[in-house]
Structure 1
């Protein structure tokens, strides 16, 4: 029986289980290494936990917290962004799509970062490809048209992340093929795929629902930095 409650604070549980080696921890606070992603998590949302998070955040850097918990950010922290997101889970069987993407490597980091920066699918940095298996689809001239991959892993759950396509290549079903492919790989590993999507992104939500994802809960992605 899968314990879906860990998804209320997915980063904290990933950083204290499957992906502990990818991050740093200080008491009730943890975060992934800065070159991988700015995401972090807290065991609880109080002043003491935020104080323990502070030494993990370099000057001029920020950290993103994704949680179902409603809390007040301490006065010595600045809120840069607070975005409501739906957390969607797929327990349905995933067929392998006809389109087979290529697995991205460190050599693709620059092209992947350029795509993510232009389309803003969520936090993405130069080392994000090192968090899991990422895949892309290329045009005939070799350009990376679209990509999707795995980010957080915890228990029997793996996050589908960085779903993005250059605007000029949209409408071809590339995102659908990539999400289907990555979700099928996750399911083949005996794990359940989940993802996060902005609550305002009706088009993406409709696509994910067609692929068997269902909204589990609304969370907030809050980006904060020490004052």
Structure 2
């Protein structure tokens, strides 16, 4: 498999494991991706000639593939590299207590989808599709009816769940809501017996400080690579 540990290629182990019901797959089973409405990430067991061929067939001409894994080999012919940047993978050690707040943390669902999309558009926390709430449990805070903070579980692999989509509206920043929703999502993962983990782009020092305060520790470096298949 691609990597000795399930966290070395989270998408592959999610799409062939706990989240297989959210996957689209190549006919030979060598490449998988989330349904486009869920998210852009893909998993390929081996990035060899057969694996790249399977991925090309899956995404089609002009299609985009996004990797989040320990490393991605040099881009092969027939693909255009749009983004390649380092990220840091964190794993929960001892989760902190949430900061005191007068706000109520709510579990979000399908009825909240449009508000979740609006908050994502305002804050740009990363990929979030119209069906992203299907990946796990999501939590948020509303003020005067308006969703101002949220976080939830994106990719799930055996033993681990990824906290993602952490965002706080500009009007609500500085009141600890980032930690509140991060810990709500992380504790929901822990309650079912799994360990929370997450990813943050290298250099995002504010986010890294937040996650360390919440009880996450660095596991390893990974790469985010966005590719487009040629015609």
TM-score (structure 2 length as normaliser): 0.91
Q: Does structure 2 retain, via aligned residues, the 8 Å contact 1:93–1:187?
A: no
Q: Describe how 1:1-227 pairs up with structure 2 within 5 A.
A: 5-26=5-26, 27-58=29-60, 60-93=62-95, 95=97, 99-140=103-144, 142-227=145-230
Q: Does structure 1 retain, via aligned residues, the 8 Å contact 2:99–2:176?
A: no
Query: How many angstroms does 1:93 deviate by?
Result: 4.3
- Separation (CA, whole Å) in 1 of partners of 2:176 and 2:98: 14
After the TM superposition, which of the residue ranges 157-166 and 101-110 deviates more from structure 2? 101-110
| Number of matched pairs | 224
Q: Deviations over 1:165-201 (max 9, x none)?
A: 1122111111100111111121111110000001111
Q: How large is the Cα RMSD of the aligned pairs? A: 1.8
- Separation (CA, whole Å) in 2 of partners of 1:217 and 1:118: 30
Query: How many angstroms does 1:4 deviate by?
Result: 8.1
- Separation (CA, whole Å) in 2 of partners of 1:23 and 1:112: 22
Q: Does structure 2 retain, via aligned residues, the 8 Å contact 1:97–1:180?
A: no
What stretches of structure 1 move > 6 A for 4+ residues in a row? Answer: none
**Gapped regions of structure 1 (runs ≥ 5):** none
Query: How many angstroms does 1:146 deviate by?
Result: 0.9
Q: Deviations over 1:130-158 (max 9, x none)?
A: 11111111112x11101100011111100
Question: Helix, strand or coil: the match of 1:115?
Answer: helix
Q: Deviations over 1:66-113 (max 9, x none)?
A: 111241111201111122110000031454665541111222212211
TM-score (structure 1 length as normaliser): 0.92
Q: Does structure 1 retain, via aligned residues, the 8 Å contact 2:137–2:188?
A: no
Q: Does structure 1 retain, via aligned residues, the 8 Å contact 2:96–2:213?
A: no
Q: Deviations over 1:36-86 (max 9, x none)?
A: 001111112223212101222255542211111241111201111122110
- Separation (CA, whole Å) in 1 of partners of 2:106 and 2:86: 32
**Gapped regions of structure 2 (runs ≥ 5):** none
